[in-house]
Amino acid sequence: MAQQNESEYEFYVGPATHLEGASLAIDGTARIDGKIVGKVAVKHLIVGPGGCVQGDISGETAEVEGTVEDSLQLSGKLTVCASGRIRGNIKYGSIECMEGAKLVGEISTDWDADIETPVVSDRLEAFTASLGGTDDEAREELV
């Protein structure tokens, strides 16, 4: 994970900080090296190796090296590093998990967004082309 300087974040929670009962809306990047318990809406979330976020988390993207619990809902990419731990209801647009990452709970994505349903005639044309025949010949054989 790329290291950034604290001043490059719109919101930063240091390692010695414990914030409970929070309801945060952050338009930008938040880095959590301490602990937050509450509701967090953020564009990009970074949970550092010693960081912990518990509650309802929503946003576009996240990079997790620490711990996330309860619910995490992202429209974009979720990156879970080897030391990352996520437990709860996890929804994402795309995911990257390093070896050693732990995910426990209900994990889902928008399955239909990336899959195109093949048209039967396209499949038939491809099949008959592989056999060297025409669509009409294949239809006659099927009847």
57-95 pLDDT, tens digit each = 999 999 999 999 999 999 999 999 999 999 999 999 999
18-57 pLDDT, tens digit each = 999 989 999 999 999 999 999 999 999 999 999 999 999 9
How far apart, in whole angstroms, are the C-alpha atoms of residue 51 and residue 83? 11
Domain map (residue ranges) of the chain: 6-109, 112-143
pTM, two decimals, is: 0.74
Q: pLDDT value at position 138?
A: 47
Phi-psi region of 3 (alpha: psi -120 to 50; beta: other; left: phi over 0): beta
Q: pLDDT value at position 130?
A: 72
Confidence of residue 121 (pLDDT cuts 50, 70, 90): low
Of 103, 109, 72, give the one whose Cα is nearest residue 85. Answer: 103
